[in-house]
């Protein structure tokens, strides 16, 4: 942060005001960063849980993988995804609500009997994957926001606040020196006038 110093009381007040704004904002920014960091960790745990769930579904169906090659994937498709939005630390985050899955009617006589169970299994897998997609999006949004908050905290703590404090100190010293010189000059003038020496 490069500051153009003007050694006057107006510049001093301006820098003091800027410093005060940043010092007041810093605790809020730190809290926001802490909340976002906690939410990132929580979301990562949720994603791990969803991954475990998906993996267990895949393992559960592993013995039937040859049969799944017969499955007609046109029998089922996602019709609508329902979601809502929550605001976390000033960020809108989409949240998965539910999934509307469209099933094609099929004959149990012309298709294998297990297709009925297969449709149910596929519905569950689709819902798990939709949840994971929303969680991944949430994680991405939270990490981006946390990164910005961290950058701003660092900017305030390590750059702007020290720079403004230093500028205020320099201006104060200059003004004090100027005032001391003026007072010293006045004293000298008074002493000269008392002694009758022309100025």
Across residues 36-46, what is the average pLDDT? 95
E runs forming strands in 89-177: 91-103
SS3 (DSSP) at 95: strand
Longest dimension (CA), the chain: 127
| Angstrom distance (rounded) from CA 105 to CA 90 | 45
Let me know: does 170 contact 5? Beta carbons within 8 Å: yes
Residue 33, pLDDT score: 94
Q: Which two tokens stand for residue 96?
A: 């998965």
- How high does pLDDT run on average in the chain? 85
- The count of other CB atoms within 10 Å of the CB of residue 97 is 11
What does the pLDDT look like over 71-122, one tens digit per residue? Answer: 667 777 788 889 999 888 888 999 899 888 877 766 666 666 666 677 778 8
- CA distances from residue 59 to 56, 62, 122, 129, 154 in whole angstroms, order as listed: 5, 5, 14, 15, 46
Across residues 118-131, what is the average pLDDT? 84
Query: Which pTM does this prediction carry?
Result: 0.77
- Domains with residue ranges and CATH for the chain: 9-185 (1.10.287.3240)
- CA distances from residue 145 to 9, 101, 150 in whole angstroms, order as listed: 38, 33, 9
| Angstrom distance (rounded) from CA 181 to CA 175 | 10
Let me know: does 127 contact 99? Beta carbons within 8 Å: yes
Across residues 42-58, what is the average pLDDT? 93
β-strand pairing of 91-103 with 76-88: antiparallel
Residue 117, pLDDT score: 72
| Nearest-5° Cα angle at 95, 89 to 100 | 170
């Amino acid at each position: 942060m490069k500051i153009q110093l003007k050694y006057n009381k107006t510049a001093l007040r301006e820098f003091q005001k800027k410093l005060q704004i940043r010092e007041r904002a810093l605790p809020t920014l730190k809290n926001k960063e802490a909340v976002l960091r906690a939410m990132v960790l929580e979301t990562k745990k949720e994603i791990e849980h969803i991954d475990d769930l998906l993996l267990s579904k895949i393992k559960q169906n592993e013995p039937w993988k040859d049969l799944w090659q017969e499955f007609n994937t046109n029998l089922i498709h996602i019709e609508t995804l329902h979601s809502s939005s929550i605001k976390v630390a000033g960020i809108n985050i989409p949240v998965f609500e539910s999934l509307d899955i469209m099933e094609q009617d099929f004959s149990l006589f012309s298709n294998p009997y297990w297709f009925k169970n297969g449709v149910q299994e596929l519905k569950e897998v689709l819902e798990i994957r939709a949840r994971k997609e929303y969680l991944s999006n949430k994680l991405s949004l939270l990490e981006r926001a946390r990164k910005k908050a961290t950058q701003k905290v660092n900017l305030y703590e390590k750059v702007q606040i020290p720079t403004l404090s230093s500028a205020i100190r320099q201006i104060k010293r200059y003004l004090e020196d100027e005032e001391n010189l003026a007072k010293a000059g006045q004293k000298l003038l008074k002493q000269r006038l008392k002694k009758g020496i022309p100025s």
